[in-house]
Structure 1
Amino acid sequence: MQALVDDALAFARATFAPASGERVDLSALARAEYEAHLGAAGAVTLAGDDAPLLVDGARGALARVLANLVGNALAYGQRADITLIDLGERVELRVEDRGPGIPAAERASVFEPFYRVEPSRNRDSGGAGLGLTIVRQIVEGHGGEVVIADRPGGGARLRVLLPKAGGADQADRARSDQIDSI
């Protein structure tokens, strides 16, 4: 019951709380999530955290995104491979597992509140069905998107794409400079 209440509160906060606009280093958040799982059951790996990857947002909310994605990967795939990729104007946070994956027909549904891929799972093994809903709300509130795909070799690949810090400001300045030069 406590997990259900915690998830419902996190969902409500993610839905109604805007991104705070602070500079957040996704590399540091990913390292912290990785270190939190060292020595725990399940394997967690981390790649691509060598340089700071800054986004504008709310540190706590983005940490929740990482925690939810890694928690799902460990629960359903017994491992979580975290990768950070600098895409120029965007940053990709990728979490992959080695589980059964998410069927293509259910990928849109998993973002709906209380939806669970396998409804027979009990709350001890499967959660409340709000984790990916919270992830999507937070990511979209930060101007990003979440994409679900198959992991090559089996499992799920969840990609979070977020604009780099200052990216929108820089793009607005560039457009303004172009207009001024006309």
Structure 2
Amino acid sequence: MKRYLPKSLFGRSLLIFVVPVAVMQGLIAWAFFEQHWETVTSRLSEGVAGDVAIMTELFESVGGNETAFEPLADAAYRNMQLSVDFREGELLPTSRRSSFFRTLDRTLRRSLTAAMDNEVWFDTTRYPAYVDIRVQTDNGVLRFIAVRERVFATTGHIFLLWLFGATAVLSLVSVIFIRNQVKPIRRLADAAKQFGRGEDAGDFKPAGAREVREAAHAFIDMRQRISRHLEQRTSMLAGVSHDLRTPLTRLKLQLALLPESEEREEAIRDLSEMEHMLEEYLAFARGQVNEETVEADVSAIVAETVEAARRADPDIALTADEGLLANVRPGVLKRGIANLISNACAYGNTCEVSVRRGVRRLEIIVDDDGPGIPEDQREEAFKPFARLDEARNMNREGVGLGLAIARDVARGHGGEVDLSDSPLGGLRAIMRLPLA
């Protein structure tokens, strides 16, 4: 049953209200029709059936003389609201039309059958305000036209109208009330998603029930603490970067003044590697702070990133669909894509990049023909500083942060990065991002 139940809070709250009300209204309607309406209808039908039986006996008592029966018919019209007409030589119709409420026909048929022995035919559908009853006699057919209110209880539909009308009004009020209660929860969820992606939640304010307000205040306090932590980390990284760059610059100058030698070249390479490692550490730690989210053409961003990567490897191939708009931080996204491309170029001889539209998402695919990563080690490859087997060791120019940064960037945009086998024989990295 769980698969058929609503998944949202609004749907479940509405179900909690609708089911008891529907059951209650159904029981009330059943009790009304079973205990009251059908009983009243039976009594009315029996009364009309008795009048028809009396008039039939009176007609037969005068030997079927229409002239002698006329005063009796006039009295029936005045006192019983029963119009009587004799049709000499006719027979009863053979066709029947059933009422929408079959209970009406069943009740009237039972009453007429119990009141007289003559063959009877009736129609409750031809005239909206009347019931046509015909009785077979020896000389012809006696036709009775009775007012519908005398045969059936006509207030049943009014009761149902009030019943379902009240249900509709209560349901409408409940929908409005539940929507107002769910709206603050949705706003809180949206604010949490925006903050998780590094976006500004804007004018988010606590609203709704007391428990929802408490959760909103707790979220605001948490957001402020995390923001302070990020600011402190950024300030610390800026200081570390400044303090480390100064001695590295001095070392570069000192090495430049030394005479050329094999030891000098090795020291320069070690210094360059240290500087590159420092840049990767800082890029990983900086994350996605200090950049606003904008709606941008991802295909153009990927093209710019590939063009920059071609300075080091001119053979990178690119195929991209046009008009793929998404809400992104362009600089951060370029960093994530550049890491995927640099990994592919570092471990393979061929690198192909493609951008395509998926189902409500866009996909940035980077393929290489390198050694790849075994399926059981792919999740491990996303961990910072993770070391894999010798075939795919950590980045030869870095510290093994490329995939970690790329996944962090994708998740910061509400997406994900997955690894699989490439058609080129190596590794395929797919970055999925939600479309605008």
Smaller-chain TM-score bracket: 0.7 to 0.9
Q: Which has the higher helix share?
A: 2
Q: Offset at 1:111? A: 0.8
1:123-142 Cα distance to aligned partner (Å, 9 max, x none) = 6x252111111111111011
Query: 1:1-182 counterparts in 2 under 5 A?
Result: 1-14=274-287, 17=289, 20-38=292-310, 40-41=312-313, 43-49=315-321, 51-118=322-389, 125-165=396-436
Give the CA RMSD over aligned residues.
2.2
Q: Deviations over 1:32-66 (max 9, x none)?
A: 122224464362000124x1211112110100111
Cα deviation digits, residues 140-180 of structure 1 (max 9, x gap):
01100111000124100000110011xxxxxxxxxxxxxxx
The count of corresponding residues between Structure 1 and Structure 2 is 162
**1:144·1:162 contact (CA, 8 Å) conserved in 2?**
yes
2-structure distance, mates of 1:101, 1:126:
18
- Equivalent residues of 2:294, 2:328 under 8 A apart: yes
What TM-score comes out, normalization by structure 1 length?
0.80
What's the offset of the Cα at 1:122? 7.5
Indicate conservation of the 8 Å contact 2:364/2:430, yes or no: yes
How many angstroms apart in 2 are the aligned matches of 1:72 and 1:89? 27
In structure 2, do the counterparts of structure 1 residues 131 and 153 end up closer, same or farther at CA, with 3 Å as the change threshold?
Answer: closer
Cα deviation, 1:66-118, whole Å, max 9, x if unaligned, reads 11011000000122201111114110000000001111111001111111324
Which structure's relative contact order is higher, taking Cα pairs within 8 Å and 6+ residues apart? 1
Unaligned runs of 5+ in 2: 1-273
Check the 8 A contact 1:73/1:96 in 2, yes or no: yes
Instruction: Give identity over the alignment, percent.
Output: 38
Output the CA distance in 2 between the equivalents of 1:25 and 1:55.
7
Aligned position for 1:174: none
Contact 1:18 1:141 in 2 (8 A): no
The answer for the alignment partner of 1:179 in structure 2 is none
* 3-state DSSP of counterpart to 1:43: coil
Once residues 102 and 122 of structure 1 are traced to their aligned partners in structure 2, the CA distance between those partners, rounded to angstroms, is: 12
Query: Does the 8 Å CA contact 2:415/2:434 hold for their aligned counterparts?
Result: yes
Alignment check: 8 A CA contact 2:341 2:366 kept:
yes
Task: Provide the rounded CA distance (Å) in 1 between the counterparts of 2:327 and 2:291.
Answer: 8
Partner residue, 2:133: none
- Alpha-carbon distance in structure 2 between the residues aligned to 1:153 and 1:33: 21
* TM-score, normalization by structure 2: 0.35
Match of 1:12, as an amino acid? A
| The structure with more radius of gyration | 2
